[in-house]
Chains A and B, each alone.
Chain A
Amino acid sequence: MTTTTWSRVGNPVLEMTLGLALLLVGLFRVLFPILGVTGPLPAMDTTRTVRIDATTRVPDAVAHGAVTLHGTSTAALTFAHPGVGDRLLLVLPALVGGLLLLQVFEILLRTARTFRDGDFFVPRNARRLGLVAALVLLIGVLTPALDVITTKFLVKGTPVASAVQSSYHLSMLPVVLAILIAAAAAAFRSGTRLRDDTDGLV
């Protein structure tokens, strides 16, 4: 296999970048939030942005024609002294998202390691990319769902419960990203088949 500038420089840089991303996500999205819930560290997040029912209509004098401005649809739900349960509910969506992201970077790092010997069009890498697509899709679907569920539990029994809306909003960016990665996985599978066809061709 010919050694290119990319394989000499690009591959180690890619592996280091993914390793660094893995470390940062592991620390800031998983470990520190867990320590914030269990006690050794102060709670990282005591506030949750929520949607509220109150809708303000701009006075007619200010509005132009039939155009109206709807405001105050979001609010910050803040806990002055959250207990362990509240702290867990507050970080759970981000924590689950962080764990999924950690898994994504770990798989990408394992995939990048196969670039060392230039042997990346292998069935295992196609499966890995498919798994990454599924994980990214989960980030887009599961995290907002957890946000809705945990918000319901957080406000349950409090005076603000009736004012807080619990509507599910899909995160479109991860969903679109998952579709793109799934397409890349399909291209990888085709590449694997092509490589199989040309393997042993002289």
Chain B
Amino acid sequence: MPPEEPHRIEVQLDRLLAERDMTLAELAERVGVTVVNLSVLKNDRAKAIRFSTLSAVCRVLSCQPGDLLTYSAG
């Protein structure tokens, strides 16, 4: 497998949770994903996200994928 290039995607979960006054554990329970996995996502350690996870997070946070994931140009 070719070596993986570092990505420039930033996850805005911290901000979205703060805006909605929601904890990660609460989100995890409502989304149906483990806190550990959401923590990986929140701390920018995730390499990929399932469409099903993305859909569930967007549904619970009432946001669009673009609100959750942003591209950092530099």
Query: Which residues of A come within 8 Å of B, CB atoms?
Result: 193, 196, 198-202
Residue of A nearest to B33 (CB): A202
* Pairs across A and B, CB under 8 Å, 17 listed: A196-B1, A198-B48, A199-B47, A200-B40, A200-B45, A200-B46, A201-B46, A201-B47, A201-B50, A202-B37, A202-B38, A202-B40, A202-B41, A202-B46, A202-B48, A202-B49, A202-B50
User: B29-41 CB contact bits vs A (8 Å, 1 = yes)?
Assistant: 0000100011011
B side interface size, CB within 8 A: 13
Query: Which residues of B come within 8 Å of A, CB atoms?
Result: 1, 33, 37-38, 40-41, 45-50, 53
Complex-state Cα separation, A5 to B33, whole angstroms: 23
Check B1 against A200 for contact (C-beta < 8 Å): no
Total CB contacts across the A-B interface at under 8 A: 24
Residue of A nearest to B34 (CB): A202
Secondary structure of the A contact surface, majority rule: mixed
Q: How far is the CB of A194 from chain B (nearest CB, A)?
A: 11
Check A193 against B41 for contact (C-beta < 8 Å): no
Complex-state Cα separation, A200 to B37, whole angstroms: 8
Q: How far is the CB of A200 from chain B (nearest CB, A)?
A: 3
Complex-state Cα separation, A196 to B1, whole angstroms: 9
Residues of A within 8 A of B1 (CB): 193, 196
Complex-state Cα separation, A198 to B53, whole angstroms: 14
